[in-house]
Amino acid sequence: MQELEAVEYGDGLKHAIVYEWMLRLVASAIQQVRLDLCGPGQGARRWWRRTHRRPESALTRRQQCPACLAATQSERLYLAALVQGLGDDTIRSAYLAGDGLCLPHFAAAMELNVTRERLLELCEMQLARVAALREQLAAYVDKHDYRNTTPCTAAELRAWIDAVQLMAGNRDTACTPPESPRPPSG
């Protein structure tokens, strides 16, 4: 869909509008997780699991592929090491300098057996990432108004692609934002 919108319309305005709204919902869900983590027990993990289950499908495998199982186990180990490592200044700085976790990996992190403090830190960082991306999306949408003559920044031009990658993960990097410094008006 990203590629189609980029090719057909030369921008990502439609994606930007929809994903800004979706990220508002994500921020609200992360706030709830954070509140649950601050409370007694492990309510956040139960709440996250209950609200983020994938529906069963006729195409769903009953047994997991051995390669997928090994990849999932490795992914969980790396994710746990990353989340636990957020207490280290070097790892924390490197994490903050990057793009953060996509929503599927954030959800997986909420299932990990790591300290509550690390999960709270991760929630705070994820909320900051979502807030920054929402600001970029809002600015991108605003700059499509014919009365606005301010050019888009590079971050704003990428925001609609970054939003999809945050929500779904970065499985395909083929879609790139348009090269124009200003979205087409009209």
Per-residue model confidence as pLDDT tens digits over 18-51: 889 999 999 999 988 888 888 765 555 555 555 5
- Dump pLDDT digits (tens) for 67-84: 888 988 999 999 999 999
Collect all residues with Cβ–Cβ distance below 8 Å to 30 and sequence separation of at least 6: 106, 123, 126, 127, 130
Catalogue the E-assigned strands of 28-125: none
Quick one: which of 34, 35, 52, 39 has its CA closest to 107? 52
Packed helices 154-168 and 2-9: angle between N→C axes, nearest 10 degrees: 150
The pLDDT, as a whole number, for residue 107 is 92
First to last CA, the chain: 21
Percent of the chain whose predicted confidence (pLDDT) is above 90: 45
pTM of the model: 0.72
Per the CB < 8 A criterion, the answer to whether 185 and 15 are in contact is: no
Structure confidence at residue 178 as a pLDDT band (50, 70, 90): very low
